[in-house]
Amino acid sequence: MKRFPSIRKYTEYQEIYRTAPSKSTGLLVMYVRDGMHEGNRLGVSVSKRVGNSVIRHTFVRRMREIFRLNNSQTRQGKDILIVARNQAGKVSYDQLNRDYMKLLRYHGLLIEESK
């Protein structure tokens, strides 16, 4: 079984925070930088203010699934870091998906829109 393509190291998170441009909605903040890999990688940061561990892990699983399902529509070779805002743990999967797609459009990462 393949591993999920994720950003794992603390130093990578810190470098993305310092150097990558960010866009935000009411629920999510997205940082995007060019990666050194051929595919996209995802990092998710969720504060304790979002909720307890069950809510935080549910949010992370939802974001990984949203990333996986929309990765074929996204330009490749990017490191994408998602930061959850306080209300992100209380909304539905569909709302998270809409905000994620909106942020991809803001960053110009959707393949359909770059043509």
Please tell me the distance from the alpha carbon of residue 86 to that of residue 47, in angstroms, as a whole number: 8
Considering the domain boundaries, does residue 42 fall inside one? yes
Reported pTM = 0.91
Tokens of 71: 């990765």
> What is the number of structural domains in the chain?
1
Considering the domain boundaries, does residue 5 fall inside one? no
pLDDT, one tens digit per residue, over 45-90 is 999 999 999 999 999 999 999 999 999 999 999 999 999 999 999 9
Q: 72, 4 in Cβ contact below 8 A?
A: no
Give the CATH number of the domain where residue 56 resides: 3.30.230.10
Task: Report the DSSP beta bridge partners of residue 79.
Answer: 33, 41
* 3-class secondary-structure state, position 1: coil
Instruction: Cite the DSSP H helix spans in 2-114.
Output: 10-19, 53-70, 93-107, 111-114
Domain coverage including residue 94:
10-109
